[in-house]
Amino acid sequence: MRAATYPPALRNYLKLVPAATIYLYLVVAHPWMLYNMLNHAKERVERLYFKRNGFQKSATKRDDILRWYYKPALDSQPTDWESNIRQLIVYK
């Protein structure tokens, strides 16, 4: 029994369309998405500061105080032995 085949023009078209689609995605769409993610990223949700109430102000102040208190411990490197020993003594 002889296998059925597509005509040569249709075979080429059926190979070309998926290849061209993937190529255009990899060359145009994906780099464009990566560029937008890196260069237009927002690290935080913008807040209307003039509408904060007293609790939000006190919570922000508390977070800032804690951030400065733990900043040396957060900035330390694992290979920096002197600062690790000093932090264990200071923050116990």
Which pLDDT does position 4 carry in this prediction?
72
What would the pLDDT profile of 16-71 be if each residue is shown by its tens digit?
A: 999 999 999 999 999 999 998 888 777 666 666 667 788 888 998 998 898 888 88
According to the model, what pLDDT value does residue 18 have?
95
Classify residue 83 by burial, with Cβ atoms within 10 Å: 0-12, 13-18, 19+: middle
User: Which range is least confidently modeled, 54-63, 67-76, 77-86?
Assistant: 77-86
- pLDDT band, residue 9 (cuts 50/70/90): very high
Is residue 74 over pLDDT 60?
Answer: yes
Task: Supply the pLDDT for residue 92.
Answer: 45
- Listed as own residue / partner, the contacts of 26-30 with beta carbons closer than 8 Å and 24 or more positions apart are none
Domain residue extents for the chain: 7-41, 55-92
Dihedral sign, Cα of residue 33, residue 38, residue 43, residue 49: negative
Q: Does the model's pTM come out above 0.85?
A: no
Cα separation, 26 vs 22, in Å, equals 6
